[in-house]
Amino acid sequence: MTSENGVRSGDAPDRRAGLSYRFTHAIVRVPGDSVLQGLRGTDRGPPSLEIFRSEHRAYIAALEEAGLRVEPLPQLEAYPDSVFVEDAALCLPEGAVVLRPGAATRLGEASVMEPVLTSYFDDVRRIDDNANIDGGDILVTDSLVLVGLSQRTNRAGFESLRRQLSAWGYEVRCIDVPPAVLHLKSDCAVLDETTVLVSESLSGHESFARFRRLVVPRGEEAAANAIRVNGRVLLSDGFPRTAELLSTAGYDLRTIATTQASKLDGGLSCMSLRFARPD
């Protein structure tokens, strides 16, 4: 029998309590020199390597301060976008899924991540060969896994992930990502078991109806790519009205500079794989 929050009775529900934001570990990857060639929708000039690495170190420190043990993987020059580790895998309490990123230059990142995942998880699954899905399109909430159909994630990717996660008892739904938006999580984030931070354009979608929605103020849409990590919400610098919204709602906020990742359409969620392990 499946309860409203998608946890089947008898399936050790405690293992899943707060699964969307209670973490013990994170995997990150140091930006390589090749990050200068990273993909971008609009060219706002190349990132500065020095500033990117310094912001990345501050990001790691913020994850550590939020209670995570962080494993920094070495630079991977063959893949310019490999700092954005979130797109290569999905980590859940039951196991991990090796994804199939939808950009041709990024597909190989997933197989490089596989041995890292097997060092943490006994059960590591894969997405079907004909499918594409980026981790940036997967919003894991406590009651539902929402998959964005986007420039990078196709219906076959959604169906393949749904099959894998259904076997673990999850409810998995899909949602269309607006064409101008790279990933679903460019526009939304989990804040707690029942609350999401979401852009105005997605906030009316029926898949968000079950959540309390804090809508990102107009002009600060990029702030939606925030992350809740244990007791803290991490938010990119430069979004004062969103910061005010979150603080007023009672969240313990920490802001972090992501000026260089944002030149490559990246933000806070995409630079780590966050998960909980029992040990």
Q: Which residues bind ligand CIR (CB under 6 A)?
A: 38-40, 81, 84, 86-87, 103, 106, 135-136, 183, 186, 264-267, 269-270
Bridge partners, residue 254, by sequence: 234
CB of 264 to ligand CIR, least distance (A): 4
* Of 86 and 94, CB closest to ligand CIR: 86
Contact (CB, 8 A) for 176 and 149: yes
CB of 183 to ligand CIR, least distance (A): 5
CB of 114 to ligand CIR, least distance (A): 18
CB of 3 to ligand CIR, least distance (A): 30
Strand ranges (DSSP E) for 20-151? 25-29, 69-73, 89-92, 95-98, 124-126, 138-140, 145-149
Neighbours of 55 (CB within 10 A): 22
Read off the DSSP letter of residue 100.
Answer: B
* Of 7 and 191, CB closest to ligand CIR: 191
Task: Kindly state the tokens that stand for 198.
Answer: 């979401």
Annotated catalytic sites, by residue? 183, 270
Parallel/antiparallel/unpaired status of strands 145-149 and 124-126: unpaired
* Of 7 and 86, CB closest to ligand CIR: 86
* Of 143 and 236, CB closest to ligand CIR: 236
